Amino acid sequence: MTLVDRTDNDDAGVFQITDEIAIVQTVDFITPVVDDPYIFGQIAAANSLSDIYAMGAEVSTALNIVAYDSCNVSKKMLNEILRGGSDKVREAGGVILGGHTIEDVEMKFGLSVTGMVHPKKILRNNTTKIGDKIILTKPIGLGVITTSIKANEAPKSAIEKAIFHMSFLNKTASELAIKFGANALTDVTGFGLLGHLYEMTNSKISVQLEFAKIPIIEEAFELAEDGFFPGGSFRNERYFMPFTKIDNSIAAFKRTLLFDAQTSGGLLISVPQENAKKLLDSLRLAGIEFAEIIGEVVSSKKEKIEVS
Ligand code: CO
Ligand code: CO
């Protein structure tokens, strides 16, 4: 029986097999975001696995999806990408069963992933409750940094931070969100922070954020001011702006950062207020030290998201 499908605008599809078991399925693949093939493999895999964690599920199996130009990309380089992917899947506790490769002038890599979850324990993205606190587990600014990497304008420190965050699995963050009774869960990817937050809202609630609390990679500010945004970030801003109200004192480039399209971004956790601080402390203790409580869920207002 289908529990979640594409009409739900959620992170992955869910299909119930027995009273105890539902499978969670997702597919994602990306073009290179860094130069090192092994690291690209790790990031692409962490990005693909993230939607399983965003449903509160565990990773079971994965299939490689590869597009590459065999005339210009060496077999050695391809093997490094696959090794990066396979190491991440192993870290996730899953196995790669196979995959498919095609010829393409533009390199692409990712995974089709299957996870498992108890049918009653699925964490959807739009089931927040009034009074919940919203926690973000990774800083934003990754789209700005990967765009500046492509333009050869990224400072070394920015590249190192982006690699650290993008290759970091959302596994532990998801497990802790479950442990502390999260009401809703999603991950921040192509629609940016406010785009994915908008997907968490519904007709009964709105979300209030404090700009100063939102973790942002320091180097991303200057790069954002210089305009290194991926095209998707501006599209997100145009699309989601009518549903949001951002304080006028916040500079335009900082506003666009809130819509910056992320690769392998963090989780957005909606957690009961009484557990928020405990969850935050546990996340930080587990090495997810950039996690922050960025706002709260309130009863529905004119705008679905307010940033002050
Ligand atoms: Co997602
Ligand atoms: Co998704």
Predicted local confidence at residue 173, as pLDDT: 98
Check whether residue 56 and residue 166 sit in a common domain. Answer: no
The answer to whether position 125 is within a domain reads no
Determine the distance separating the centroid of ligand 2 and the alpha carbon of 50, expressed in angstroms: 8
Taking 70 as the pLDDT cut, the residues of the chain under it are none
- Please identify, among 92, 117, 142, the residue that sits at the C-terminal boundary of a domain: 117
Q: Could you tell me if 95 and 139 lie in one domain?
A: no
Question: Are residues 139 and 88 part of one domain?
Answer: no
Ligand nearest to the Cα of 192, by number: 1
Domain at 237, CATH number: 3.90.650.10
Q: Determine the distance separating the centroid of ligand 1 and the alpha carbon of 291, expressed in angstroms.
A: 18
Query: Chain-wide mean pLDDT for the chain?
Result: 97
Q: How many Å lie between the centroid of ligand 2 and the Cα of residue 123?
A: 13
Are the beta carbons of 215 and 136 closer than 8 angstroms? yes
The pLDDT of residue 275 is 98
Model pLDDT, residue 143: 97
In this structure, the answer to whether residues 161 and 296 fall within a common structural domain is yes
Ligand nearest to the CA of 13: 2
Query: What pLDDT is recorded for position 158?
Result: 98
Ligand nearest to the CA of 125: 1
Among 91, 117, 143, identify where a domain stops: 117
Same-domain check for residues 176 and 221: yes
Q: Are 68 and 152 in a shared domain? A: no
d(CA 28, ligand 2 centre) in Å: 8
What is the reported pLDDT for 271? 98
Cα 241 to ligand 2 centre (Å)? 21
Please indicate, yes or no, whether residues 151 and 249 belong to a single structural domain of this protein. yes
- Do 196 and 103 lie in one domain? The reply is no
For ligand 1, the distance from its centroid to the CA atom of residue 189, given in whole angstroms, is 6
In a domain, 236, yes or no: yes
Expressed in angstroms and rounded, the spacing between residue 97 Cα and the centre of ligand 2 is 22
Please check whether residues 278 and 195 belong to one and the same domain.
yes
Report how far ligand 1's centroid is from the alpha carbon of 12 (Å).
7
In 3-state terms the chain splits into helix, strand, coil percentages (rounded to 5) of 40, 25, 35
Long-range contact pairs involving 163-166 (C-beta distance under 8 Å, separation at least 24): 163/34, 163/39, 163/43, 165/138, 165/139, 165/217, 165/264, 165/265, 165/266, 165/290, 166/33, 166/43, 166/46, 166/47, 166/142, 166/263, 166/264
Residues 6+ apart with CB under 8 A from 95: 60, 61, 62, 89
The whole-angstrom separation of Cα 31 and Cα 223 is: 21
Asked if residue 35 is part of any domain, the answer here is: yes
Amino acid residing at 235: R
Residue 128, in any domain of the structure:
no
Indicate if 166 and 285 belong to the same structural domain. yes
Q: State which of 57, 85, 117 marks the end of a domain.
A: 117
Distance in Å, CA 11 to ligand 2 centroid: 4
Ligand 2 centroid, distance to 71 Cα (angstroms): 32
Number of domains in the chain: 2
Residue 49 to residue 223: CA distance in whole angstroms: 28
CA of 199 to the centre of ligand 2 (A): 11
CATH number at residue 95: 3.30.1330.10
208 three-state secondary structure:
strand
Distance 83 CA to ligand 2 centre (A): 24
Residue 122 lies in a domain: no
Q: Cα of 26 to ligand 2 centre, how many Å?
A: 7
User: Does one domain contain both 92 and 209?
Assistant: no
Q: Please report whether residue 123 resides in a domain.
A: no
Ligand 2 centroid, distance to 10 Cα (angstroms): 7
Q: Which ligand is nearest to the CA of 174?
A: 1
User: Ligand 2 mean position to 170 CA, how many Å?
Assistant: 13
**Residue 279 domain-assigned?**
yes
Cβ burial of 234 (10 Å; 0-12, 13-18, 19+) is: middle
Domain that holds residue 38: 2-117
- Tell whether 297 is covered by a domain: yes
Q: Do 88 and 193 lie in a common domain? A: no
